């Protein structure tokens, strides 16, 4: 069998290669050509270990805020059945506390949680976009 020794031409496409600067310049962000390759956003998009660490840190801060709200809510609402059991003759007090007394603290707690969650996300976006 005759073999064809002529090589076929192959076209390889990809991003142009550039020589990387000194690692110290890359880490300080002083080299504009490589800043896109080492941004946290690309780490997250490529699902690398570092990107996973960024996302887990956001999830941890959001979980910490949620657990704080849960703890405050538990301390606020948890003792109420004991209070109501200690004062069985005060039925109007129960309705006043449940209907009016808890409304303002719950609204303030919800407002604090939403502001905290938005601030956590804003800080994360600022970190990812290198602002």
Sequence-distant (6+) residues with CB within 8 A of 66 are: 113
User: Which residue matches tokens 């109007």?
Assistant: 92
Of the given ranges (52-56, 85-89, 96-100, 119-123), which has the lowest mean pLDDT?
52-56
Nearest-angstrom CA–CA distance, 67 and 113: 10
18-52 pLDDT, tens per residue? 555 555 555 555 545 544 445 666 667 667 777 78
Q: Name the percent of the chain in helix, strand, coil, to the closest 5.
A: 65, 0, 35
Q: Which whole-number Å values give the CA distances from 109 to 50, 75, 121, in the listed order?
A: 33, 12, 18
CB atoms within 10 A of CB 93: 13
Query: What is the value of pTM for the model shown?
Result: 0.62
């Amino acid at each position: 069998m005759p073999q064809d020794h002529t090589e076929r031409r192959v076209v390889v496409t990809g991003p142009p290669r550039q020589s990387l600067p000194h690692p110290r310049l890359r880490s300080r962000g002083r080299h504009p050509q490589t800043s896109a390759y080492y941004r946290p956003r690309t780490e997250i998009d490529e699902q690398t270990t570092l990107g996973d660490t960024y996302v887990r840190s956001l999830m941890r801060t959001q979980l910490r805020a949620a657990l704080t709200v849960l703890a405050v809510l538990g301390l606020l609402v948890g003792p109420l059945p004991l209070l109501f059991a200690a004062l069985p003759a005060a039925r109007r007090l129960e309705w006043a506390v449940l209907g009016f007394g808890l409304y303002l603290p719950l609204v303030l707690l919800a407002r604090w949680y939403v502001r905290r969650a938005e601030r956590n996300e804003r800080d994360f976006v600022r970190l990812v976009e290198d602002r």
